[in-house]
Amino acid sequence: MKRQLQSLGLLLACAFTSLAATPPPEKLLPADTVAVFTIPDYAKASATWKQVPASLLWADASMKPFKDKFMGKFQSDLVEPMEKQLGIKFADYSNLAQGQMTFAILANGWDGATPKEPGFLFIMDARDKSAALKTNLAGLKNKWVESGKQLRVEKIRDIEFTTLLFKSDDLKKSLSKVFPKGNAGDEALEPPKPGAEDKKMELIIGQSDSLLIVGTVVKDIEKVLASQAGGTAALAENPAFASSYGSMFRDAQMYGWANTKAILDAALKLMNKDAADQKGGGAMMGMKPDKLLSAIGINGLQTVAFNFRDTGDGFMMGFNLGVPESQRRGIFKIIAFEKKDANPPPFVPADVVKFSRIRLDLQKTWATLETAITEAIPQAAGFIKLVVDNAGKDKDPNFDLRKNLIANLGDDVISYQRAPRKQTLADLNSPPSLILIGSPRAEQVASAIKALGAVMPQPKVKEREFLGRTVYALGMPPTPGPAGGRPVERTLHYAASGGYVAMSTDIAMLEEFLRSGDSTGKALKDVAGLNDAAQKVGGMANGMFGYENQAESARALVETLKKESGTLANLFGASPLAGQFGMEDSAEKLKDWVDFSLLPSFDQIAKYFYMSVGAGAVTPEGIGFKVYGPNPPQLKK
């Protein structure tokens, strides 16, 4: 009998525990949620993230001088002033997140046709720290009253909530004390807005069991409380969300989702209304917003979703565009690459820093782009036809852009780059790189580019022979020099070889490719670990694949930043952005925050960097991308 009672007690305890458990985000948020970002289990995710290479790097002893200087300024110049203005201590809340941490936007009847605005929600589960949360909220309420500010106390489903009352000007004044020159330096960057209405604002804050709930609309909070009590009208029942949940969110440590169709529909109504109010003035060249978005293809986008998770042997990020095949137009029809081989070809050397390959039918891409432009701007149709039909004919009456160039384009675009040759900001910004355009008649494409180049306002296209191939040199518009210095002259070198037209502003990269048939060096496709990593993202046969040697990318970045720390500070100090943070008077102010000269040598932190790979896949439901970064071998025990 005693054992039976113990068993019954255990069952009852389990039942009550189950009933008290906070629902996950998808069952807690209302069905009319239009966007959500969440960490479903913050305590668990935080513990995992502390062991990822980036976190271990930040905690490395060699990073301490740089880290201490940055964190010291962050605390003294940003955190402490904000705490003083808001009357709170962030540390009182930073360690309370134990369960989910969720931010969401709810429709709240917002459809673009009515004055209603969307509602905002922030939800945090404190779990076993709910008592501390209650204490902190009581303290916040008292400090708000003591500072002379207004509040209102009301009950929502028998739970007490406090509504903090303030005006938009009050918030602006508080922020201006933290960022005293928030609109200095360059008024064109963010010009003042005279006559802006001082809006009344309300922020509703309360606690339900272990949940901190912060929102702007009472009805939205009511829906959350109903879901917490066992209601079923939740986001999980939304078909648009459910289609992403099983494939992307189920085991994610962090994810985000947006019902872009609902958002775009509402935004479109607002745009059409504004255009009508302006008697057509809001439409571009007479084009109505709905026609413009349709031509571009944006209105075919139903949802956007992303996720992040630790796999135990690395990290995985996923991104998905919910664009059904039947609704792909414009830009989405262009980027819907074909399911074909995207492996690195044998001529791509193993020591490249970045590589990408995408199988796009370039003839279809051109046709789609031309159609989208003419649909978006009907007046441009005649102009485009005129330009295409007459391009190059002043030099060669028989030249036909469509026949000589467009009709000869293939379905393969490859690019790869090497590490910068020098440790300068200019070299870091423009490393040696090569682009390959596939073509069944590459020589004709190269000749067609020459014909087009002849009509450009640049020096005449030059030719020379190299290993039996014609190499063209086409002058390009100069780029601005660093810190307003002398413009940098550039030349595009290109040649046809092996079914590709190879292009580069670095002649050595082009010549290396033209010699690749004689090379016996190691190829990228044979790099250790590459194939295993590629399988994590679906392999290299779906039409899109990319690779980055993060170790060498980071080496170039770290060593250049260390060497050019003073130059970077001067460049920032002279920029309009510096004025936004009150740093325009002295470049040394940036170094007070971020002193790159304090970074360790790369060899001291090289063990935290390895590689990353990415791949895409096109399905009838949408276009997806995945990125995987395996843990560096040096960190494995």
Using one digit for the tens of pLDDT, what is the confidence trace for 412-423? 999 999 999 998
Instruction: Decide which of 426 and 327 is more confident.
Output: 327
Residue 436 pLDDT grade (very low, low, confident, very high; cuts 50, 70, 90): very high
Write down the pLDDT at residue 386: 82
Render pLDDT for 172-191 as a digit per residue (tens, 0 to 9): 666 565 555 544 444 444 44
Percent of all residues in the chain with a pLDDT value above 70, rounded to a whole number: 83
Write down the pLDDT at residue 185: 41
Using the predicted structure, report yes or no on whether residue 233 has a pLDDT greater than 90. no
Residue 404 makes CB contacts below 8 A (sequence gap 6+) with 444, 445, 447, 448, 451
Percent of all residues in the chain with a pLDDT value above 90, rounded to a whole number: 55
With beta carbons less than 8 A apart as the criterion, state whether 218 and 108 touch. no
Residue 382 pLDDT grade (very low, low, confident, very high; cuts 50, 70, 90): confident
Tell me what the mean pLDDT of segment 284-293 comes to: 66
With beta carbons less than 8 A apart as the criterion, state whether 118 and 106 touch. yes
Q: How far is residue 371's CA from residue 380's CA, in Å, rounded to a whole number?
A: 11
Tell me what the mean pLDDT of segment 301-328 comes to: 94
Q: Write out the E strands in 135-243.
A: 150-156, 159-167, 200-208, 211-215
Using the predicted structure, report yes or no on whether residue 12 has a pLDDT greater than 50. no
Residue 467 pLDDT grade (very low, low, confident, very high; cuts 50, 70, 90): very high
With beta carbons less than 8 A apart as the criterion, state whether 611 and 530 touch. yes
Render pLDDT for 600-619 as a digit per residue (tens, 0 to 9): 999 999 999 999 999 999 99
- Structure tokens that stand for 16 in this block: 């009550």
Strands 200-208 and 544-548: what pairing? unpaired
The dihedral sign for the CA sequence 446, 447, 451, 454: positive
Render pLDDT for 104-122 as a digit per residue (tens, 0 to 9): 999 988 877 777 889 999 9
SS3 27: helix
Tell me what the mean pLDDT of segment 3-24 comes to: 52
With beta carbons less than 8 A apart as the criterion, state whether 625 and 615 touch. yes
Write down the pLDDT at residue 207: 96
Write down the pLDDT at residue 19: 41
Using the predicted structure, report yes or no on whether residue 160 has a pLDDT greater than 80. yes
With beta carbons less than 8 A apart as the criterion, state whether 552 and 353 touch. yes
Q: How far is residue 612's CA from residue 354's CA, in Å, rounded to a whole number?
A: 10
Write down the pLDDT at residue 104: 97
Predicted TM-score of the model (pTM): 0.86
Tell me what the mean pLDDT of segment 499-506 comes to: 96
Using the predicted structure, report yes or no on whether residue 365 has a pLDDT greater than 70. yes
Write down the pLDDT at residue 186: 43
Tell me what the mean pLDDT of segment 25-33 comes to: 94
Render pLDDT for 391-413 as a digit per residue (tens, 0 to 9): 777 777 888 888 989 999 999 99
Q: How far is residue 166's CA from residue 160's CA, in Å, rounded to a whole number?
A: 20
Q: How far is residue 283's CA from residue 271's CA, in Å, rounded to a whole number?
A: 9
Residue 581 pLDDT grade (very low, low, confident, very high; cuts 50, 70, 90): low
Write down the pLDDT at residue 8: 47
Strands 433-438 and 314-322: what pairing? unpaired
Residue 461 pLDDT grade (very low, low, confident, very high; cuts 50, 70, 90): confident
Write down the pLDDT at residue 232: 77
Write down the pLDDT at residue 184: 44
With beta carbons less than 8 A apart as the criterion, state whether 572 and 590 touch. yes
Write down the pLDDT at residue 14: 43
Instruction: Decide which of 373 and 126 is more confident.
Output: 126
Write down the pLDDT at residue 78: 84
Tell me what the mean pLDDT of segment 181-208 comes to: 63
Instruction: Decide which of 185 and 566 is more confident.
Output: 566
Domain ranges of the chain: 264-300, 345-522
| Average pLDDT across the chain, whole number | 84
Write down the pLDDT at residue 505: 94
Write down the pLDDT at residue 189: 44
